[in-house]
Amino acid sequence: MNKKLQRTRAVTRLAACIAALTVCGSVAAQTNVTIYGSIDAGVTYVTNEGGKNNFRMDGGLSQGNRLGFKGSEELGGGNKAIFVLENGFAVDNGTARPNGQIFGRQSYVGLSGPAGTIAMGRLVDFMGEKAALYNVGYAGFGGLYSVHLLDLDRLSGVPVNNAVRYLSPNIGDFTFGAMYAFSERAGDAAGNDRTISLMAHYLAGPVSIATFYTEVKGGTLDVSQLIGKPLGTEVWGGNASRNYGVGGSYDFGKLLAFGMVTQSRFSAINGGATKQAMVYEAGGRYRFNATTALGLGYTHTLAEGLRFGQLSSGLDYMLSKRTDVYLMSSYERASGRATSAAIAALPVSGGSSQMLFRVGMRHRF
């Protein structure tokens, strides 16, 4: 009897172990972690960099260099836990970007389900996330050089600390989003760095239209070097920066046409004068075949008597699904009160014009 009982208990324990292993296998099958990234490097020839020509070996110009980890875990009922940890780096010297932060591009955890997605951590605001869809730098292969003047409207995708962000599910071809970032200053909830960002996006077939807004408490813009003066001579804002934008694109098949308008307002401390900048942009990307595409775009900036016009182009050739080589060029001219051209990601010129040519290579994994 005892032997029979022992055998029964052994079988029961074995069955329990098998059941536990089955559950573990099921859980593992519902968990997904991905390592991804992008590495870009190239050589740029710049005319009039502080009055002199220059050759530069730079990286992250076609797309920011990154190494990331993202994952999700099924929670049931269509819900899942999500996370992203994304590091930026300089390929030419191996340093972490921005500012040496290990996960400086993004770092967040959240929940996603039928009701939408909520995330908390360090996130990019909607000016950078949505405006990029209609910018020659991203849609037309102009790279970081085609980010708007001094990144005044945050088009480059500025990460925001202490943020909580909600994204809606698709509702009749519309999606909506809202983000709030805490200032974390005791007794001053609306203190410097408090950020609010909103967006609405319509996407149906070949049509894409989005509107976006970001407000940063304490935001400033230093335009001193653009008027030939030392840094700190003319700083706009101090109380808040408010950025608005609307963009749209239409995909004709081989041709993608896009355009965008943004407005940036910098309000000063103690009720000083508010400074305003407008940026108008239009461009297109033509795909000759599965491997070759050409992008072209023009950006016009008006900012309190400062005027800038920039023409950018990019030719991209895919060596494989993950690797491409490209050519970029940009020309910018300053006029009005502005005395110096200032193509994004480059030192200010020594005169009213600046031009660059770049050849590079990018690999994505």
pLDDT of residue 2: 52
Domain presence at residue 7: no
What global pTM score does this model have? 0.89
Q: How many residues does the chain have?
A: 365
Q: Where are the alpha helices (DSSP H) in the chain?
A: 2-29, 126-131, 136-139
Domain-embedded: residue 189: yes
Per-residue pLDDT reduced to its tens digit, 103-121: 999 999 999 999 999 999 9
User: Which structural domain, as residue segments, surrounds residue 294?
Assistant: 32-364
The three-state secondary structure class of 180 is strand
Mean pLDDT along residues 144-154: 97
How many domains would you assign to the chain? 1
Instruction: Report residue 271's pLDDT band, with 50, 70 and 90 as the boundaries.
Output: confident
- Give tens-digit pLDDT for 208-264: 999 999 999 999 999 999 999 999 999 999 999 999 999 999 999 999 999 999 999
For 318-361, write each residue's pLDDT tens digit.
999 999 999 999 999 999 999 999 999 999 999 999 999 999 99
**Is residue 27 a part of any domain in this protein?**
no
Considering only CA atoms, which of 280, 302, 284, 303 is closest in space to residue 293?
284
Given a cut of 50, is residue 364 above it in pLDDT? yes
Around 231, how many Cα atoms within 13 Å sit in the side-chain half-sphere?
A: 4
Q: Say if residues 162 and 189 touch (Cβ distance below 8 Å).
A: no
- For residue 129, report the phi and psi dihedrals to the nearest 5 degrees: -75, -45
Task: With respect to residue 324, please indicate whether it lies within any of the assigned structural domains.
Answer: yes
SS3 content of the chain, % helix, strand, coil (to 5): 15, 55, 30
Give the whole-angstrom CA distance, residue 264 versus residue 152.
7
In this prediction, residue 190 carries a pLDDT of 87
- Which of 211, 227, 243, 246 lies closest to 305 in space, CA to CA? 227
**What's the pLDDT at 11?**
40
Residue 24 has pLDDT above 60, yes or no: no
Q: With contact defined as beta carbons under 8 Å apart, do 212 and 198 qualify? A: yes
Within a domain: 24 = no
Domain assignment present for 2: no
Q: Is residue 17 part of a domain?
A: no
In this predicted structure, what is the pLDDT of residue 30?
75
Residue bearing the bigger pLDDT, 26 or 35 = 35
What b/e sequence results for 24-49 when a residue is b if at least 16 CB atoms lie within 10 Å of its CB, and e otherwise? eeeeeeeeeeeeeebbbbbebebbbb
Is the pLDDT score of 63 beyond 90?
yes
Whether 111 is in a domain gets the answer yes
The pLDDT value given to residue 23: 42
